[in-house]
Amino acid sequence: MAMTGVLRPGHVQIRVLDLEDAVRHYRDVLGLEETGRDASGRVYLKAWDERDHNSVILRQDDRAGIDFMAFKVDSDATLDKLEADLRAHGVTTTRIPAGELLQTGERVRFEIPSGHQIELYARKTFVGSELGQKDPKPYMAKFDKGIAPMRLDHALLYGPNVDKVLEIFTQVLGFHLTEYVTLPDSDVKGALWLSCSNKAHDIAFVIHPEPGKLHHVSFYMESWERVLRAADILASNDVKVDIGPTRHGITRGGTIYAWDPSGNRFETFWGGNSSYPDLPPIEWSWEGLGEGGGLDVAARKMHETFLTVVT
Ligand code: M3P
Ligand code: FE
């Protein structure tokens, strides 16, 4: 598949209650690399297999949650075109100047009907991975520091108007719907998994009365074995685990959900289906999500925290 338009999740800005506690978590327990700090005090990090300067930005605030999630697009021309397409669809956009985030070009920011701030950008400084671009080794011992995911993978966001969000992502931004859950006794799609790539999902939504909420930010693990190793690291650092290790029926990915020190949920995720835009999406019923193992294949039940604990 030729990848054009929107390429991948590029960065998330996460609000944390105590910056240095959060840095200890994201850098030392999760094992991301700190790549910078800016004048406003925000901390920038990236995972070992990412080549652009940053993918996670931590901002201290008195309220946890997500400020915005951004997607990298393939060119400045695509950025201009998608901005025009969003406006034609009735979405208000604003331009944030290059450099407002370290090593990151101009961003187009817009609010989607679920109350989340989404951004598109075309440029971020290529810093490379420590493995290099020529004849790279597969592995470095230092990648064993912490959980050490390969990359930022996706986020699951909670908010209202999921039907309108589906329209924007599929009709304007070129995503395809990979899986969805219908609400009890209805055809209404209450949860969506959306991909701009060949992955099982790059962003997902669950319907929720309060706008702009974060369910989790997900990091991609190299193997199921590394997810199990993550469970040991979480336990030895007294990190509170929500669910797992188990497998999601939806996406078929291996998973652990756990909480950062501010109560933001994160996921260590491995595997998952491939997706293609020509394939019809997989449908899950509400019972399928719970007892059918959509959420948790091993426990085959709905976990109350899945629907109620968000930041
Ligand atoms: C995911 C996710 C669920 C399946 C989820 C798959 C929640 O990767 O978004 O956590 O049923
Ligand atoms: Fe996830």
Would you state the structure tokens that stand for residue 154, as one six-digit string? Answer: 């996706």
Any idea of the CA torsion for 255, 256, 262, 264, to the nearest 10 degrees?
30
Q: Provide φ and ψ at 41, rounded to 5°.
A: 95, 0
Give the pairing type, strands 65-73 and 117-121.
Answer: parallel
Q: In this predicted structure, what is the pLDDT of residue 22?
A: 98
Which domains are delineated in the chain? Answer: 6-137 (3.10.180.10), 151-308 (3.10.180.10)
Atom of ligand 1 nearest to the CA of 153: 8
User: What spatial distance separates the first Cα and last Cα of the chain, rounded to whole Å?
Assistant: 36
CB-based burial of residue 215 (10 Å sphere; 0-12 exposed, 13-18 middle, 19+ buried)? buried
Q: In this predicted structure, what is the pLDDT of residue 2?
A: 78
**Residue 289 beta carbon below 6 angstroms from any ligand 1 atom:** yes
Local confidence pLDDT in tens for the 311 residues of the chain: 578 899 999 999 999 999 999 999 999 999 999 999 999 999 999 999 999 999 999 999 999 999 999 999 999 999 999 999 999 999 999 999 999 999 999 999 999 999 999 999 999 999 999 999 999 999 888 889 999 999 999 999 999 999 999 999 999 999 999 999 999 999 999 999 999 999 999 999 999 999 999 999 999 999 999 999 999 999 999 999 999 999 999 999 999 999 999 999 999 999 999 999 999 999 999 999 999 999 999 999 999 999 999 99
Q: In this predicted structure, what is the pLDDT of residue 142?
A: 85
CA distance 83 to 91: 9
Q: Which of 242, 255, 297 to mutate to test the pocket of ligand 1 (most atoms within 8 A of CB)?
A: 255
**Residue 248 beta carbon below 6 angstroms from any ligand 1 atom:** yes
* Catalytic machinery residues: 154, 201, 216, 248, 257, 267
Q: In this predicted structure, what is the pLDDT of residue 3?
A: 83
Atom of ligand 1 nearest to the CA of 269: 8
Q: In this predicted structure, what is the pLDDT of residue 266?
A: 99
CA of 93 to the centre of ligand 1 (A): 29
Kind and range of the H or E run holding 19: helix 19-23
Q: Which of 193, 265, 308 to mutate to test the pocket of ligand 1 (most atoms within 8 A of CB)?
A: 193
